[in-house]
């Protein structure tokens, strides 16, 4: 019923994401940050 911490950690390591998945996640986060900051900057410029 209850897994030990060691068993849980081993299971988490087995189901970890691949390098490609991590890279895609970082790229998507970077794009989202750039779009958000760019949108804020354009909004501020528009208000001036």
Cβ neighbours, 10 Å, residue 23: 11
CA distance 32 to 41: 14
* pLDDT band at residue 26 under the 50/70/90 scheme: very high
Q: What's the N-to-C CA distance of the chain in angstroms? A: 62
Domain ranges of the chain: 18-48
Tens digits of per-residue pLDDT, 2-22?
668 778 777 766 676 788 888
In the predicted model, is pLDDT for residue 42 greater than 90?
Answer: yes
Residues in the chain, overall count: 48
* pLDDT band at residue 37 under the 50/70/90 scheme: very high
CA distance 44 to 26: 27
CA distance 42 to 35: 10
């Amino acid at each position: 019923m209850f897994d030990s911490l060691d068993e849980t950690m081993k299971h988490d390591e087995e189901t970890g994401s691949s390098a490609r998945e991590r890279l895609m996640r970082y790229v998507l986060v970077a794009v989202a940050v750039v779009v958000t900051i760019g949108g804020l900057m354009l909004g501020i410029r528009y208000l001036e």
